[in-house]
Structure 1
Amino acid sequence: MNLTELQLTKLTLDAYADINFERPAGIRWQAQLNPTELAFSRKNVYQATQSAGTSAPQQSFSGGEPDQIQLDLLLDGTGVVGEPGGIGRSLDALLELTRFQGDTHQPYYVHAYWGRFSFRGVLTQADVTYKLFDRTGEPLRATVKLALKEALSPEEVAAEDRPSSPDLYQTWLVSDGERLDTIAAQVYGDSAFWRPLAAANRLANPRGLVTGQLLILPPLAVRR
C-alpha cells in the first residue's frame, strides 16, 4: 500500500461561478478534519383540497423544496492534528465562499464532496463558534456549522420534472363555471380530451362539474 492509499479522503469544497458548475472560480477549500456530523434533509409540499361531498381533504403534491445538508466541522490548530498554528486563514477561506462576488452579483456555487458523498448547491449559512485562542488572541480551535441548499440549473429542473412523463398524474380543483372541455383545452391543448378526463374521473354527467370538485388529470399515455 503506497502513501496515497494511506491518506485520508478529505471533505472538499470547490467554488464555481455558474449554476451549471462549468466555470471553476479557482477556489478549493479542504477540511483539516472530516465532518463530525452530516445531516441531509428533503421536503415535499402537499396541498390539502376539500372536494364537495367529501369528509376529508385530498392531499395533492404541489412541489418539492431543494434538498439541504448541514455539515459540522472542527478546525484545530493546537497541534493535536497536523502542525500547530492559528486557524484564521483556513476559516477566512471557508467564509469567503459565502461572500457576495462583484462579477456574478451573488456568492459562489459550491460543489461539496467526500467519498461517495457529493452535493452541489449554495452556502446559505455558516455559524462559527470559537473554542480556544492563543495569547495574542489568534483562534486555535473553532466549530463550524455549514448549511447548503441544492442548486439545479433550469435544464436539470426540466429533466427532473418530466411534465409529459407517462407515470405522472396531476389534479385540478374546479372553479366556478368551468367545463370539462375548457379544462381539457387548457391542460392538454385540445378540448377533445374531455372524454378521457370524464372516464378517468367516472363522471356520469360531464357537464355537471361542481365548484371545489377535485379532478384527476390522467398522464400522457392515458389521454390517447
Structure 2
Amino acid sequence: MSATATALTKLTIDAYADLEFRTPAGISWTALLNPTELAFSRKNRYEATQSAGTSAPQQSFSGGEPDQVSIDLLLDGTGVVGNPGSIGPTLDKLVGLTTFQGDTHQPYYVHAHWGRFSFRGILTQVDVTYTLFDRAGEPLRATVKLALKEALSPQEVQAQDRPESPDLFQTWLVRDGERLDAIAHRVYGDARYWRPLAAANHLTNPRFLRPGTVLVLPPVATRTGGRR
C-alpha cells in the first residue's frame, strides 16, 4: 500500500478574501489532531397563520437561517504527536482568522474541510481552554471549540431560494376592496384559481373578504380544481 493511501487526512481551514471564495487570502491552518467532535446545525423559521374558518393555525415556512457548525479540537505540544513545543503560534494563527481584513474591513471567509466534511462560512467564535504549560509558562496543551456560520454570496442565496418558484407556501394580507379572483390573478397569473384558493382557506363566502385577513396561498403542486 502506498504512502499516499495511508496518509492521515487532517482538518484544514483555508482563508479567502471574498464572499465568492475565489481569492485565497494566503492563510491556511491545519489541525495538529483531528476533531474530537463535530456538530452541524440547520434551522428553519415558521410562522403560524390563522385562516378564516379554521380552528387551528397553519405553519407557513418564512425562511431559513444560516447553517452552523461547531468543532472541538485538542492541541498538544508535549511531543506525543509531532514535534514538542509551544502551541501558542498555532493558536495565534487560528484566532487570527476571526480578525477583519485591513483592506476590505470584512472578516476572512473560511473553507473548513476534512474528508467528506466541507463547510464555507465565517469563523464567529474561538473558545480556548489551556490545560498544560511548560516551566516558562508556554502553553503545551489546550482544548479549542470553533463556531462557524454559513456565508453565501447573493447569487447563491437567490439560486437556493428561487423566490419565483411555484412550489412554495406563501401568505397574503387582504386589503380593503380586494377580491379573491384578483388575488389569484396576481399570485398565479390566472383569476380562475380563486376556487382552490377559497378551498385552501375554507372560505364560506369567497365573494366577501374581510380586510386584515391572512390568506394561505397553496403551492402550484397542491392547487386542485382551479381550471373549470
Number of the residue aligned with 2:13: 13
- 1:177–1:129: structure 2 CA closer, same or farther, 3 Å change rule? farther
What is residue 104 of structure 1 aligned with on the other side?
104
Partner of 1:26: 26
Contact 1:130 / 1:142 at 8 angstroms: preserved in 2?
yes
Q: Which amino acid aligns with 2:146?
A: L
1:214 paired with 2:197, answer: no
Render the CA deviation track for 1:16-75: whole Å, top value 9, x for unaligned: 011110010010000010000000000010001222332221111000101100000111
For each residue in 1:88-118, what CA deviation from the matched residue of structure 2 results, as whole angstroms up to 9, or x when unmatched?
Answer: 1100010110011111212100000000010
Segment drifting more, 99-108 vs 176-185: 176-185
Q: Which residue matches 1:45?
A: 45
- The two structures have a TM-score, normalised by structure 2, of 0.87
Quick one: percent identity of the two aligned structures? 71
SS of residue matched to 2:113: strand
Q: How big is the shift at 1:83?
A: 0.9
Match in the other structure for 2:160: 160
Aligned mate of 2:196, from 186, 189, 199: 199
Going from structure 1 to structure 2, the CA distance change for 1:48 and 1:221 (only over 3 Å counts) comes to: closer
Letter matched to residue 55 of structure 2: S
Task: Provide the secondary structure at the position in 2 that maps to 1:201.
Answer: helix
**Count of equivalent residues:** 221
Tell which deviates more after alignment, 177-186 or 207-216: 177-186
Match of residue 130 from structure 1: 130
Deviations 1:131-150 (A, max 9, x none): 11111110000111000011
Structure 1 runs not aligned, ≥5 long: none
In 2, Cα distance between equivalents of 1:206 and 1:26: 63
Q: Equivalent residues in 2 for 1:174-193 (5 A)?
A: 174-181=174-181, 183-184=183-184, 187=187, 193=190
Deviation >6 Å, runs of 4+: 220-224
User: Does the CA contact (< 8 Å) of 1:126 and 1:147 recur in 2?
Assistant: yes
Q: How far does residue 15 in structure 1 lie from its aligned partner after superposition? A: 0.2
Structure 2: which 5+ runs fail to align?
none
Gap change, CA 1:53 and 1:217, over 3 Å in 2: closer
Moved more, 75-84 or 47-56: 47-56
Give yes or no for contact 2:12–2:29 (8 Å, CA) kept in 1: yes
- AA aligned to 1:129 is T
State the Cα distance separating 1:209 from its structure 2 match: 1.5
